[in-house]
Amino acid sequence: MRESQVKYREIVENSNDIILMVQDGNLKFVNTKAVELTGYGQEKILETPFVELVFPEDRKMVEETYIRQVEGEELLSTHPFRMLKKNGEPFWVEVNGKAVVWGGRPGLLVFMQDISERKRMQDALRESEARFRDIAESMSDWIWEVNRNGVYVYCSVKAEHILGYSRVEVIGKTPFDFMPPDERERIRSAISDIVKEKCPIRNLENWNLTKDGRLVCLLTNGAPILDENDKLIGYRGVYSDITERKQAEKELAETNRQLEKAIERANEMAMEADMASQAKSEFLANMSHEIRTPMNAVSGFADILVDISLNEEQIDYVGTIRRSGETLLFLINDILDFSKIEAGQLDFEEIDFDPELLAYDVCQLIRPRIESTSIERQPCEPEAGKVDVEQGWISCGGCQ
């Protein structure tokens, strides 16, 4: 029995769990682990009522549980609660207890396991899940997850905003259940190669039918989910509604098409205008040459008339004919110059002229018409080139 007692004491003292004996609310026995974890000395902890080692907010629950266990109403376990170290720092424990009789009085044998680290990790996990859930619910994109068979096992509330189906209606179905038949075959072929290689899904566009029959375009991005053996167990990712963008791209493409058509028509009109301009230039050149021939005859016969016997007045008339013919030839040459301008071949030349002679020639040109009217002729003023607007005459050295 002594050997057995020594053996069990060694087991109890070297246990990683806290082992306590509680009787009448006081500690009757604690192992080494309880002393180390709480920071109390062996004697001090035995003098401390058990309830004072419990975190204040958990004391009522622990006391009620202790009573039920001692009375045999609850034999095995309690909910996790917090204990207090000597310095006031709380730590979480998970408890198993059993009612015993010691010295003729009922008590409780308690086994406690420190679960502070596990509790911290659980809290961190819950916080992470809550953060992920808040982000997922506030995003404009639809977050989803499918298993290895392509069946939805999770989707955010945006599924209802985008497709009109609730999460309950989506989970258990596959993405292909919401696609038109022709789109379904195209996407199935594309996804097959991606899944086979366990590759991420990058910017895959696919059309889906909403609950009310509208077509929406979703941009899919996702990543494979692998187990510890690198085996594919599913995919998770996001859907982005790009229907408005696709509509804008379609409208932009139509606008570009119309613009290209307008540019093509403008080029055609420019070619037609160019052809018309060339035709006009050719017409001007041809007409100029056609007019030049009879004008040369007029000038030639005027030169012949000068050589025959004419009186002074007739000679003056012939001179006027010659100058008029030369003026028309100059005009024809100017018309030909327009053709050269359009061809980019116009050359400028400097020619001296006498303003007095120019004015005299103008007067000679208009004199026949003036003489046919009832305008009185007067001798010219002594100063040639004088202009009197009020009297209506120009002095040119010859006539008015």
Residues 62 and 151 in one domain: no
Beta bridge mates, 111: 19, 96
Report the distance separating Cα 338 and Cα 280, nearest Å: 10
| Residue-level pLDDT at 399 | 46
**Residue of 45, 125, 120, 29 lying closest to 82 (CA atoms):** 120
Residues 111 and 48 in one domain: yes
36 or 102: whose pLDDT is higher?
36
Token digits of residue 75: 């034999």
Residues 154 and 236 in one domain: yes
| Residue-level pLDDT at 253 | 92
Task: Return the CATH number at 228.
Answer: 3.30.450.20
Domain boundary among 177, 209, 241: 241
Residue 268 domain-assigned?
Answer: no
| Residue-level pLDDT at 400 | 41
Residue 258 domain-assigned?
Answer: no
Q: With 70 as the cut, is the pLDDT of residue 387 above it?
A: no
Per DSSP, helices labelled H in the chain are 2-13, 32-38, 42-47, 59-70, 116-138, 158-163, 167-170, 181-197, 243-307, 312-343, 355-371
Confidence at 226, pLDDT banded by 50, 70, 90? very high
Residue 51 domain-assigned?
Answer: yes
Confidence at 165, pLDDT banded by 50, 70, 90? very high
Amino acid at 2: R
Range of the domain at 90: 2-116
Residue 255 domain-assigned?
Answer: no
Helix (H, G, I), strand (E, B) or coil at 154: strand
Is 123 within 8 Å of 99 (Cβ atoms)?
A: no
Residue 228 domain-assigned?
Answer: yes
Q: What is the DSSP string of 119-131?
A: HHHHHHHHHHHHH
Q: With 70 as the cut, is the pLDDT of residue 398 above it?
A: no
User: What mean pLDDT is reported for the chain?
Assistant: 81
Report the distance separating Cα 38 and Cα 47, nearest Å: 14
Give 334-370 pLDDT, tens digit per residue: 777 776 676 666 677 788 878 888 788 777 767 776 7
Helix (H, G, I), strand (E, B) or coil at 84: strand
State the Cα angle at 372 between 369 and 373, rounded to 5°: 100
Is 394 within 8 Å of 355 (Cβ atoms)?
A: no
Confidence at 251, pLDDT banded by 50, 70, 90? very high
Residue 99: C-alpha distances to residues 5, 47, 72, 73, 203 (Å): 21, 21, 7, 10, 64
pLDDT cut 70: percent of the chain above it: 87
Confidence at 397, pLDDT banded by 50, 70, 90? very low
Give 77-96 pLDDT, tens digit per residue: 567 888 888 888 999 988 88
Report the distance separating Cα 55 and Cα 230, nearest Å: 45
Among 133-137, 151-155, 237-241, 247-251, where is mean pLDDT lowest? 133-137
CB atoms within 10 A of CB 110: 24
Q: Is 147 exposed, middle or buried (0-12, 13-18, 19+ CB in 10 A)?
A: middle
Residues 100 and 167 in one domain: no
Q: Is 112 exposed, middle or buried (0-12, 13-18, 19+ CB in 10 A)?
A: buried
Confidence at 180, pLDDT banded by 50, 70, 90? very high
Helix (H, G, I), strand (E, B) or coil at 68: helix
Token digits of residue 359: 């004015």
Q: What is the DSSP string of 284-345?
A: HHHHHHHHHHHHHHHHHHHHHHHHS---HHHHHHHHHHHHHHHHHHHHHHHHHHHHHHHHT-
176 or 22: whose pLDDT is higher?
176
Residue 126 domain-assigned?
Answer: no
Over residues 116-134, the mean pLDDT reads 84
Helix (H, G, I), strand (E, B) or coil at 337: helix
Report the distance separating Cα 195 and Cα 224, nearest Å: 8
56 or 370: whose pLDDT is higher?
56
Residues 50 and 152 in one domain: no
| Residue-level pLDDT at 378 | 56
Give 263-280 pLDDT, tens digit per residue: 999 999 989 888 887 777
Q: CB-based contacts of 304: which residues, under 8 Å, 6+ apart?
A: none
DSSP letter assigned to residue 110: E
Report the distance separating Cα 289 and Cα 392, nearest Å: 39
Residue 112 domain-assigned?
Answer: yes
Using only the alpha carbons of the chain, give its radius of gyration: 57
Confidence at 235, pLDDT banded by 50, 70, 90? very high
| Residue-level pLDDT at 390 | 47
Domain count, the chain: 2
**Residue of 139, 308, 345 lying closest to 240 (CA atoms):** 139
